[in-house]
């Protein structure tokens, strides 16, 4: 410990290694930009906040291992060089030298291997797994990341959720000294969207969405009634006590914000002792105003904000607006931790081209084990669940499909032909021929949970040697070119221009 109580008198000095002046001051509160810090990451890691984050991460992972080992889980390593299978992002491919023209894929997750371990009778598996996804990056994503990977046989959702809940509570306490409220609330996917406009809700504060579509339907305000007539919805937020704190200029900034998420505008009102004032006041006078105030649960001094459009646009715009208001009003305290389960996800969602894709992955079981009718794909519920904390998704899981016939039906609905099923997933389908137990599991992102628990803003701050937002390692200068001889050994010719 640094106490200042001991003085050292040197009789001689031996230089073990010479040191140049570092490119930035190695201080706890460093002012150097992130690019410079990442280029000299070994110097950045000398700072106490960085070392503390890695120490806490190590304690957390150790606590998780101890908890799972104490609950009869077996730590099993699965391959890193494997077969390319769809997991929702692009694979990182590795060419094979001894099998020209053939490629391995780095695993996006150990999903299929842990299911095969259930077929093998391992019953309770876990792994602190390294995973790789070639996707666009942001504060909570990296091309390589670490997850707590879990699978269990002969379980229903409750057993998985209860086990993970206990593990997370233990890990947060041992790793960070954080005590969290239990049991974690459990919201359905539909309720999470309805109340918070998000399937990863930040439940540290209220400001829940309110559906006023019935009132809007009868309204003389054409924007509201027109949205309902077009099959849309009208929903709003009541911001308590903020009527006088948001000027027209500030509301214009909020309007611009929701526009970034597809909303065509933001209607607003301020509540006084006399009723409704603001942009929609003339449409909500007398009884109409009283009905609106009652529906919104508003009181004098409150600010009301509304979006009218198709439901997906309204939910996303208001969900993002809610988070912005939470930040501006100081409601998202980084020292408060609220975890929440979101359950009953849809099995399929529309993609950008209007087709159907798996909401999670194609190995997730539907609620109906005898599912044969795919005539209304959007109405099919999955036995899937997510764990969220403070508005971040920590992990996703599900009860899996363990019956070959049902798995083939889901593949076929997704447009995967029988030939492609056998080519890409034949090893899994073949395993199901020999009897697979009902099983389910989850994967929890270590980087994300450590970031939040450490009070950091980015997962790069809790990873020893992270990549930039362009998936580059500035310290090692990776990725980089390789020699013509190396490419020749791999039977590869690059089409990229030299230096590109």
Phi and psi (nearest 5°) for 388?
A: -120, 155
* Span 419-444, average pLDDT: 96
Q: Read off the pLDDT band of 1 (50, 70, 90).
A: low
Contacts with 83 (C-beta within 8 Å, 6 or more apart), sequence order: 104, 105, 424, 427
What burial letters (b/e) apply to 212-225, b meaning 16+ CB within 10 Å?
bbebbeebebebbb
pLDDT in tens, 373-403: 899 999 999 999 999 999 999 999 999 999 9
Using DSSP, state whether 269 is helix, strand or coil: strand
Contact 425, 414 (CB under 8 A): no
CA–chain centroid gap for 73, Å, is 25
Q: Tell me what pLDDT residue 499 has.
A: 54
Cα–Cα distance measured from residue 236 to residue 258, given in angstroms and rounded to the nearest whole number = 12
Helices (H), 129-243: 157-176, 189-196, 213-217, 222-229
Question: CA angle at residue 451 from 458 to 42, to 5 degrees?
Answer: 70
Whether residue 8 is predicted with pLDDT greater than 90 in this model: the reply is: no
Mean pLDDT of the chain: 94
Residue 258 has pLDDT above 80, yes or no: yes
Q: Name the percent of the chain lying above pLDDT 70.
A: 98
- β-pair partners for 441: 151, 398
Structure-block tokens of residue 92: 């990182």
pLDDT single digits (tens) 334-349: 999 999 999 999 999 9
Residue 87 has pLDDT above 70, yes or no: no
User: Distance between CA 455 and CA 272 in Å, rounded?
Assistant: 39
State mean pLDDT over 463-472.
92
Residue 88: its pLDDT value, please? 65
Using CA atoms, how far apart are residues 444 and 53, in angstroms rounded to an integer? 18
pLDDT of residue 182: 92
- Residue 185: closest CA among 170, 195, 176: 195
Question: 500 CB contacts (<8 Å, ≥6 apart)?
Answer: none
- Provide mean pLDDT across the span 255-279: 95
Percent of all residues in the chain with a pLDDT value above 90, rounded to a whole number: 88
Q: Is the pLDDT of residue 32 over 80?
A: yes
pLDDT (average), residues 252-259 = 97
Rounded mean pLDDT, 415-441: 95
pLDDT reported for residue 469 = 86
């Amino acid at each position: 410990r640094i106490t200042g109580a001991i003085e050292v008198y040197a009789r001689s000095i031996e230089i073990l290694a010479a040191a140049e002046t570092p490119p930035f001051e190695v201080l706890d509160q460093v002012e150097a930009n992130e690019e410079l810090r990442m280029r000299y990451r070994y110097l950045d890691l000398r700072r106490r906040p960085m070392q503390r984050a890695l120490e806490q991460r190590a304690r957390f992972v150790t606590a998780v291992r101890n908890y799972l080992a104490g609950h009869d889980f077996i730590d099993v390593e699965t391959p890193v060089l494997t077969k390319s299978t769809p997991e929702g992002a692009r694979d990182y491919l590795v060419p094979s030298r001894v099998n020209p023209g053939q490629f391995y894929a780095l695993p996006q997750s150990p999903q299929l291997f842990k299911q095969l371990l259930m077929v093998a009778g391992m019953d309770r598996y876990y792994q602190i797994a390294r995973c790789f996804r070639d996707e666009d990056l942001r504060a909570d994503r990296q091309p390589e990341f670490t997850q707590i990977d879990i699978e269990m046989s002969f379980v229903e959702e409750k057993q998985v959720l209860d086990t993970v809940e206990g593990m997370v509570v233990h890990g947060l306490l041992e790793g960070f000294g954080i005590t969290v409220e239990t049991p974690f609330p459990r919201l359905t996917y539909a309720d999470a969207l309805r109340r918070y406009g998000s399937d990863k809700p930040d439940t540290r504060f209220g400001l829940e969405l309110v559906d006023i579509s019935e009132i809007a339907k009868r309204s003389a305000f054409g924007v509201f009634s027109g949205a309902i007539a077009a099959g849309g919805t009208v929903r709003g937020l009541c911001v308590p006590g903020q009527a006088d704190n948001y000027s027209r200029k500030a509301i214009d900034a909020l309007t611009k914000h929701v526009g970034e998420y597809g909303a065509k505008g933001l209607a607003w009102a301020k509540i006084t002792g006399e009723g409704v004032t603001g942009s929609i006041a003339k449409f909500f006078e007398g009884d109409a105003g009283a009905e609106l105030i009652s529906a919104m649960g508003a009181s004098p001094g409150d600010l009301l904000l509304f979006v009218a459009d198709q439901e997906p646009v309204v939910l996303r715009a208001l969900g993002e607006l809610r988070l912005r208001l939470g930040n501006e009003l100081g409601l998202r305290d980084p020292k408060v931790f609220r975890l929440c389960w979101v359950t009953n996800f849809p099995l399929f969602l529309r993609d950008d081209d209007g087709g159907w894709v798996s909401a999670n992955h194609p190995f997730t079981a539907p609620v109906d084990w005898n599912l044969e009718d795919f005539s209304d794909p959007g109405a099919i519920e999955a036995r899937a669940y997510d764990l969220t904390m403070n508005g971040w998704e920590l992990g996703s899981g599900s009860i899996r499909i363990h019956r070959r016939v049902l798995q083939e039906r889901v593949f076929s609905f997704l447009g995967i032909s029988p030939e492609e099923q056998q080519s890409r997933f034949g090893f899994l389908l073949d395993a199901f021929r020999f009897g697979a137990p009902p099983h389910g599991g989850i994967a929890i992102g270590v980087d994300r949970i450590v970031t939040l628990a450490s009070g950091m803003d980015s997962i790069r701050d809790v990873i020893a040697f992270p990549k930039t937002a362009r998936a580059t390692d500035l310290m090692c200068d990776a990725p980089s070119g390789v020699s013509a001889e190396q490419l020749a050994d791999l039977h590869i010719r690059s089409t990229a221009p030299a230096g590109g």
